[in-house]
Amino acid sequence: MIYGLARYYGRDEVSCDVKFTIVGNGEVLGVWKNLARTLDIESQVLFVGSKFGSELDEIFEDSHIAVSSLGLHKIGLASASTLKSREYLARGLPIVCVDDIDFGDWPRFAFKCQNNTSAIDVESIVNWYTYEIAKQVLPEQIRNFAIENLDIRVKASKIID
């Protein structure tokens, strides 16, 4: 995503201001900070550290889109069902993600990226959000999808039945 932002801001003109907030203190945090600095997009990538409770809720409430796990190829996976995606959808946020085994018919509020090392096309995400999501998809619709398709009770009933 950081490379994608650098490419987006390297254009002559951008369609809107995009900020990417990274929550957490993982082992690659230093690498990402150096990358943002090297690519001269430090003002677009916000590193806020670990957040919990109301502080994390506030970040979610201020977000338009959530980015799920994008590097599945690095651990040898073609698809997955990440908890991040479920959390974001349960909160009513559209997501950017790679293939998810639970999505079946791909929901329009999930922007699917390639599961490889190529830079994310941020302009395509901006257009997707602007023209397909912002005025047409309500957070309640996204939450309902999560409840009806991803809730543990739904998943467990398939096993029990």
Model pLDDT for residues 71-124, shown as the tens digit of each residue:
767 777 667 777 898 999 999 999 999 887 778 777 899 999 998 889 999 999
DSSP structure class, residue 109 = T
Mean predicted confidence (pLDDT) in 39-43: 97
> In sequence order, what are the residues at sequence separation of 6 or more whose Cβ sits closer than 8 angstroms to the Cβ of residue 60?
66, 88, 91, 93
Range 121-158 burial, b when 16+ CB lie within 10 A, else e: bbbebbebbeeebeeebeeeebeebbeeebeeeeeeee
pLDDT of 160 strictly over 90: no
pLDDT of 53 strictly over 70: yes
What is the C-alpha separation between 48 and 118, in angstroms, rounded? 25
Q: What are the chain's domains?
A: 2-155 (3.40.50.2000)
**Which residue has tokens 């950081």?**
2
Percent of the chain scoring above 90 in pLDDT: 62
- Residue 75 is encoded by which pair of tokens? 């651990």
Q: Is 47 helix (H, G, I), strand (E, B) or coil?
A: strand
